[in-house]
A = this chain, B = another copy of it.
Amino acid sequence: MLPKSLQNLIEELSKLPDIGPRAATRLAFYLLNQKNEEIQKLINAFINLKKIKFCSQCFNFSEDELCDICKDQKRDKSKICVVETALDIIPIEKTRAYNGLYHVLGGVISPSNGIGPDKLKIRELIERIKKLKTSNLEHQTSNIIEIILALNPTTEGDTTTLYLERLLTGPDFRGEKIGIKITRLARGLSKGSSLEYIDEDTLKNAMLGRR
């Protein structure tokens, strides 16, 4: 009863997360009433998605080899904040309480979902820290490297945080000249909540009170 092209659009929209068939239908009808140039803007935005790749250093999304944060000379390169997804960078940046770099793990350890440490960017984090230490030694700076573990306060997040803490204080990193300080976001984040939905103040305090 609907034109094929309209049915097809509704189908495609229904595939998107949190959009059921009804919401997809409403969206499609809304789009039908929009001017061609508005639709074209949306189409262009989708086309430009193809430009986006991963930052080769921190695995944030980026249009270039390095993302805007890694490229920024004003940022404190001795601090690396480890997050689950690139999405988590946004609320932390909004607090303006942090001026270091990031490292996107790409998830958390979750045996029930078949996600082991090897599926996350943990090896890349270790290599990145080692490289940073070597560079500090070469430049004879005595900056302490701070790794802030800012994973979501869920069971999997906590497990991953523990795993990383042990790894980063393990044999590979002991007895060397340049120290690593490992901190976590202060609790105050309620158990089971998600970084993405926490208000700025709570997150800011959690960042400032990190230990």
Type the 1/0 row for A36-62, where 1 means its CB is closer than 8 Å to any CB of B: 101101110111111110000000011
Known: A16-B27, A25-B90, A61-B2. A43 touches B47 (CB 8 A): yes
Is B85 touching A48 in the complex (CB atoms < 8 A)?
no
Asked if A206 is at the interface of the complex by the 8 Å CB criterion, the answer is no
Q: A39 contacts which of B46, B62, B86 (Cβ < 8 Å)?
A: B46
Asked if A181 is at the interface of the complex by the 8 Å CB criterion, the answer is no
Is A61 touching B93 in the complex (CB atoms < 8 A)?
no
Contacts of A48 in B (CB 8 A): 5, 8-9
Q: A87 contacts which of B26, B45, B67, B68 (Cβ < 8 Å)?
A: B26
Q: A: which residues have CB within 8 A of B?
A: 1-6, 8-9, 11-13, 15-18, 22-23, 25-32, 36, 38-39, 41-43, 45-52, 61-63, 67-69, 85-87, 89-90, 93, 196
Question: Smallest CB–CB gap between A9 and chain B, Å?
Answer: 4
A and B contact pairs by CB, cutoff 8 A, 14 listed: A1-B68, A1-B69, A1-B90, A3-B67, A5-B45, A5-B48, A8-B45, A9-B46, A9-B48, A12-B42, A13-B42, A16-B30, A31-B46, A32-B49
Contacts of A4 in B (CB 8 A): 63
Q: A43 contacts which of B8, B22, B46, B87 (Cβ < 8 Å)?
A: B46
Question: Smallest CB–CB gap between A128 and chain B, Å?
Answer: 19
